[in-house]
């Protein structure tokens, strides 16, 4: 019989994720946590960005005990089992696991010498760092492999890309600051029109990976985080909601 010490409860997952996301940095209303409570042990958890029509069937097919939803607001609780626990983190997930000051992404991009670029309410929203020298085409290929595609590209003037900015916003001021601090390429979720003039004047390269692609990457990363913490937790991820 499995020892009770090996059981996982939703409160433990929340405690771990609160620490991982450093939720104390966020306003109380934005910290996330338990959306629907359960007292049952969690052996199987599903991850998805938001509810979709076939969610109840997916939960049943995967025999889930708990569910993580990035955007839970359209969840119809009457269509899922009352035994199912639901966890939700919105802003903390966005800032820690998508485009921004994302340490796991920095490792994948092989960034070093990280510096903060941009702040919102005293939280970093972007990072600057060096990468192994490569041409712009190689960096674009790497980004495509990481995120599964890209939305828009503006080629870098510099032949060799040495320093990049990864930022969860795109403003005139942020683009100019990235350029002033030596970035060859600005990586973000979506191109923003107010930054176009700054891009032309600084001649910085830019890659927009797409907001949803960055969220899907975040789900994949979260799956790894949970499985690194609990060897006996089965994690199922739904990408196409």
Q: Which residues are annotated as a binding site for a divalent metal cation?
A: 94, 211, 215
- How far is Cα 94 from Cα 222, in angstroms, rounded to an integer? 12
DSSP structure string for 158-203: SSEEEEEEEES---HHHHHHHHHTT-SEEEESS--GGGHHHHHHHT
- How far is Cα 111 from Cα 133, in angstroms, rounded to an integer? 11
Q: Which of 212, 130, 136, 215 is nearest to 166 (CA)?
A: 130
Beta pairing, strands 119-120 & 66-69: unpaired
Maximum Cα–Cα distance across the chain: 68
Query: At 165, phi and psi to the nearest 5?
Result: -115, 135
- How far CA 66 is from CA of 12, 154, 239, in Å, comes to 12, 42, 17
Residue ranges of the annotated binding site are: 94, 211, 215
Nearest 5°: CA angle at 95, between 142 and 113? 55
Percent helix, percent strand, percent coil in the chain, to nearest 5: 40, 25, 35
- How far is Cα 4 from Cα 47, in angstroms, rounded to an integer? 25
Contact assessment for residue 184 and residue 69, using Cβ atoms and an 8 Å cutoff: no
């Amino acid at each position: 019989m499995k020892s009770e010490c090996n059981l996982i409860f939703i409160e433990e997952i929340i405690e771990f994720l609160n620490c991982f996301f450093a939720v104390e940095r966020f306003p109380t209303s934005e910290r996330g946590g338990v959306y629907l409570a359960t007292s049952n042990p969690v052996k199987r958890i599903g991850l998805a960005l938001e509810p979709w029509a076939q969610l109840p069937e997916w939960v049943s097919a995967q025999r889930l005990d708990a569910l993580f939803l990035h955007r839970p607001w359209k969840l119809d609780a009457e269509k899922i089992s009352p035994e199912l626990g639901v966890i939700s983190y919105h802003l903390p997930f966005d800032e820690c696991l998508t485009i921004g000051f994302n340490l796991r992404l920095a490792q994948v991009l092989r960034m070093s010498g990280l510096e903060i670029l941009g702040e919102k309410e005293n939280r970093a929203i972007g990072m600057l760092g060096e990468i192994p020298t490569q041409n712009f085409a190689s960096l674009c290929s790497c980004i495509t492999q990481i995120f599964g595609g890209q939305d828009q590209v503006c080629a870098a003037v510099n032949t060799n890309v040495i320093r990049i900015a990864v930022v969860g916003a795109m403003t005139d001021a942020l683009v100019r600051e990235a350029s002033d601090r030596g970035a060859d390429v600005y990586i973000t979720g979506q191109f923003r029109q107010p930054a176009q003039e700054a891009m032309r004047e600084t001649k910085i390269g830019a890659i927009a990976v797409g907001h949803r692609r960055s969220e899907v990457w975040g789900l994949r990363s979260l799956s790894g985080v949970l499985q690194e913490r609990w060897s006996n937790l089965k994690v199922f991820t739904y990408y196409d909601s």
